[in-house]
A and B are shown apart, each in its own frame.
Chain A
Amino acid sequence: MQREHAPPPSLAQITFVFFVIAMQSFGGGLSGWIRREVVQRRGWMPDQQFLSGLALCQIAPGPNSVNLSVFIGTTLRGGAGALAALLGMIGAPMALVIAMGAAVAELSTYPVVSSGMAGVGAAAVGLNLATGIRMARRGVRSTYAAGIALAATVAIGGFGTNFLASVVVLLPLSFAVAVWTRR
């Protein structure tokens, strides 16, 4: 339900909504939650604008969900809105993660905790790989593009090639392919 010309929400409302979103998002999938709250439940922006913003946040460097909070905050209330959204997004999770980090540092002297965390880590690596597979299905549409994805995977993941050097070489190449293959 989108309201036309709804007045922009207050800074406190923006912080609160992103706080709620951040605290209920376990194990990723943040952009889905953000869309539900900001577009569908509150009608703060039309879906079209949200989706083009999401694409922008995926293009731009930096964590996507954090970028998305800055995009929405900026769109709603400029620089102050961006700070309000960012505070809601990372404030509480950051405090929580620091507390958990301290607790685990103590507890991992117990072998069962350390083994358990290694198991969570091994499963979490699968989360990264599964995200890569889903992204590849959507975004890699030519043999050349697949070659670039493979080159980045093998260079950085397989041979431990310097990250910055790999990006400096592959980024222009990838853009050249995108321009070359555009219809």
Chain B
Amino acid sequence: MTGALLALVGLFGSLSLVAFGGGNAVIPAMQHSAVAVRHWMTDREFLELFALSRLAPGPGSLIVTLVGQKAAGLVGALVATVAMYFPSCLLLHLVTRAWHRYRDARWRETAERGLAPLAVGLIFASGIAIMRGTEQGIAPVLLTIASTAVLTATEMHPILVLCVGGVIGAALRF
């Protein structure tokens, strides 16, 4: 139990400050650690937690809470959440205070352009990593492609797309 808690602190504490582009960026590393290294769950169970974190209200990054819960129950959920949010929130708090003091637009613009490609790559990688781990057969892959197309080309509400996906998954016995 204590071992699992320490592992959660080590995992999410280290991922917190490298989650460039948001919580999605570190999903492949999270999945690898939770499934292949620690054996807290199977790939399919990880997919369920991912699905749940998108269905629930609030930040999608709360998948961290669910991974902690699976690894070490309620305490694990709390420990994982604090480990993930504390470092990045503290950093952002300090940066915000500096931000209001110095305003060098040129530097900011360069930082934005430097991080954008990496953030884009990391979010694509998160989608592909989950697909590779969990989508057996052609039907789930087609569903992912269809969902991507609909969400890119239309303004349809994501929750509606997720619910349709759930119905399709249940009907086709994914």
Contacts and interface: CB of A to CB of B under 8 A. Distances in A.
Nearest to B26: A163
Interface of A: 22-30, 52-53, 55-67, 70-71, 74-75, 79, 82, 86, 89-90, 92-94, 96-98, 100-102, 104-105, 108, 111-136, 138-141, 145-146, 148-153, 155-158, 160, 163-164, 167, 170-171, 174-175, 177-179, 181-182
Contacts of A114: 44, 48
Contacts, number: 383
Given A119-B166, A160-B28, A135 B119 contact: yes
Interface of B: 14-24, 26, 28-29, 32, 44-45, 47-62, 65-66, 69-70, 74, 77, 81, 85, 87-89, 91-93, 95-97, 99-100, 108-132, 134-135, 140-141, 143-152, 157-159, 161-170, 172-174
A74 B97 contact: yes
Contacts of B47: 117-118, 121
- The dominant DSSP class at the B interface is helix
B82 to A, nearest CB: 10
A19 B116 CA distance: 29
B120 A75 contact: no
Nearest to B170: A116
- The dominant DSSP class at the A interface is helix
Given A58-B22, A62-B17, 11 more contacts: A62-B19, A93-B56, A101-B66, A117-B48, A125-B131, A127-B54, A128-B130, A135-B21, A157-B125, A157-B127, A160-B129
